[in-house]
Amino acid sequence: MSSQPDGAFPRVNHALIKQGQYIGLIVSVVGRTVNFDGQSNLEIECSDGGRVTITVDPEYNYVPGQVLEIMGHLMDENTIQVGWGGGVGVALLCNDTDVS
Identity at 61, one-letter amino acid code: N
Q: For residue 11, count other CB atoms closer than 10 A to its CB.
A: 12
> pLDDT at residue 96 above 70?
no
- Identify the pLDDT of residue 93: 63
> pLDDT at residue 84 above 60?
no
Higher model confidence: residue 82 or residue 5?
82
Q: What is the C-alpha separation between 41 and 27, in angstroms, rounded? A: 17
State pLDDT tens for residues 44-61.
Answer: 999 999 999 999 888 888
Higher model confidence: residue 59 or residue 73?
73
- Identify the pLDDT of residue 6: 74
- Identify the pLDDT of residue 2: 56
CA-CA-CA-CA torsion sign (83, 26, 65, 53): negative
Confidence band for 86, pLDDT divided at 50, 70 and 90: very low
Nearest to 12 by CA among 88, 25, 1, 96: 25
Does domain 11-95 fall into CATH 2.40.50.140? yes
Identity at 99, one-letter amino acid code: V
Q: Where are the domains of the chain?
A: 11-95
Confidence band for 92, pLDDT divided at 50, 70 and 90: low
